[in-house]
A and B are shown apart, each in its own frame.
Chain A
Amino acid sequence: MTPLSYLLQRGTAMALVPLVIIHLAVIIWAIQGGLSAEEILSRTRGSLLWAAFYGLFVLAAAIHAGIGVQTVLREWTPLGRRAATGLGHGLIALLLVLGARAVYAVVWA
């Protein structure tokens, strides 16, 4: 792990703490009166606040998961640095694309 990936790993972990807490709190609050797609979309459609919130969430989660998986691969499999880094970066890209699509879908589509 390089100093930069260490900084990103710790930084994204710190960012995820409030994001996860708010995410869970909103879930619990939002399902009180039942749960429907319309209700969720009425809250998120056109909301720059939710777009920014989940945009940041996706970014932090993708980086954190990618670096974490890269570390696990180096420690628990015979993969070398290049292969583990490649797979870690691939996972970051994949999660970013999937997450960005989801954010786009609930805010703008």
Chain B
Amino acid sequence: MSPPERVLKVDIWRGGESGRTQRFEVPERENQTVLDVVTYIQRHLDAALAYRFACRVGVCGSCAMTVNGRPRWTCRTHVSRVVRRGKLSLAPLANLPVIRDLVTDMTPFFEKWQAARGRFVPGDGPRDEMAAVSPGEKHRIAASDAIECINCGVCHAACDLVSWREDYLGPAALNRAWAAWNDVRDGDRNGILRAVVSGGGCHNCHTHQSCAEHCPVSLNPTFSIAGLKRETLKAKLRGELK
């Protein structure tokens, strides 16, 4: 006789900003990610469950949720690593508006990327030659340390400052701004510095390091923000932040 199937008790947030948790029972498997559990529920127990995913392999950054109180990428989080006494608690990411169930509205997150000017601005006119950026150049190295962000929103959800101040740009946007500022081909690098000293800018960071602690791809946005603080201060003292 085979042993009885072990069951996970999964509490999932249902509803929008207001709602309640709903308990599901899901067969426990030896190798099972949190995203597998959510997909099982949606396919076998409640087809109306709303959640978001795309790649399932830790590249797209779309499946982040709050798992037992911590923001995590669910496709690369094994249940065995986070389950507590056979229970999982799943909720949408914090610090973002909830659309339904496990789906948040990422609009404010990406608006902050734009506000921090985390995008490339070309210089004037076409260049005659390719811009040569040596792999060993210090700005290139700094950009490499910050550039692998998958936009999952985990750091944004983990940041105390984001929860305290609605206008704070947040670790993801500021980390992106730091990577963009370190692109020496950018046509308006001081424009980035001006963007990140606005009201909710980089100087508000308390260096709690929650972003670095939770980042699934081991980036350190706090370090990037420290770089922005340093460079904005230098630019301010040089009178370049008009």
| Contact surface of A with B, Cβ cutoff 8 Å | 1-7, 71, 74-76, 81
Inter-chain CA distance A4–B204, complex, in Å, is: 12
> How far is A71 from B161 in the complex, measured between Cα atoms in Å?
11
- What residues of A have a CB within 8 angstroms of the CB of B50 in the complex? none
Q: Is the CB of B229 within 8 A of A6?
A: yes
Counting chain B CB atoms within 10 Å of each CB, the highest count among A5, A75, A76 belongs to: A75
Contacts of B199 in A (CB 8 A): 81
Report the separation of the CA atoms of residues A3 and B237 in the bound assembly, to the nearest whole angstrom. 9
Interface residue tally of chain B, by bracket?
10 to 19
Q: Which residue of A2, A75, A76, A81 is within 8 Å of B203 (Cβ)?
A: A2
User: Which residues from chain A contact B236 at a C-beta distance below 8 Å?
Assistant: 3-4, 7
Q: Does the CB pair A3–B197 fall under 8 Å?
A: yes
- The prevalent SS among residues of A at the interface is helix
Give Cα distance in the complex from A7 to B197, angstroms: 13
Q: How far is the CA of A6 from the CA of B204 in the complex (A)?
A: 9
Asked whether A1 lies within 8 Å of B241 as measured between CB atoms, the reply is: no
Instruction: Establish whether residues B164 and A3, one from each chain, have CB atoms under 8 Å apart when the complex forms.
Output: no
Query: Within the assembled complex, what's the spacing in Å between the Cα atoms of A76 and B206?
Result: 14
Q: A1-B204, A2-B197, A81-B199 are in contact. Are A7 and B164 (CB under 8 A)?
A: no
Closest to B235 in A: A3
Query: Could you give, for residues 163-181 of chain B, a 1 whenever the CB lies within 8 Å of some chain A CB and a 0 otherwise?
Result: 0110000000000000000
CA distance A20 to B107 in the complex (A): 47
Compute the total of residue contacts between A and B using a CB distance below 8 Å: 26
Query: From residue B13, how far is it (CB to closest CB) to chain A in Å?
Result: 26
Contact between chains at A75 and B161 (CB < 8 Å)? yes
B residues within 8 A CB of A7?
233, 236
- Is B203 within 8 A of A3, CB to CB? yes
Could you say which residues of chain B place their CB within 8 Å of the CB of A3?
Answer: 197, 203, 229, 232-233, 236, 241
How far, in angstroms, from A28 to B201 measured CA to CA in the complex?
Answer: 43
Rounded to whole angstroms, the CA-CA distance of A89 and B201 in the bound complex is: 20
Question: Smallest distance from the beta carbon of A78 to chain B beta carbons, Å?
Answer: 11
Complexed CA–CA distance, A4 and B241 (Å):
12
Which 4 A/B pairs are nearest by Cβ-Cβ distance?
Answer: A75-B164, A6-B203, A1-B203, A3-B236
Write out the residue numbers on chain A whose beta carbons fall within 8 Å of the beta carbon of B229.
3, 6
- Beyond A1-B203, A1-B204, A2-B203, 9 extra complex contacts between A and B, CB < 8 Å: A1-B201, A3-B229, A3-B232, A3-B233, A3-B241, A71-B204, A75-B161, A75-B165, A76-B164
Q: How far is the CB of A69 from chain B (nearest CB, A)?
A: 15
Docked pose: A75 CA to B232 CA in angstroms: 22
CA distance A51 to B241 in the complex (A): 37
Q: Which residues of B contact A74 (CB under 8 A)?
A: 165
Centre residue among A1, A4, A7, A71 by max chain B CB count within 10 A: A1
In Å, the complex CA distance between A75 and B233 comes to 22
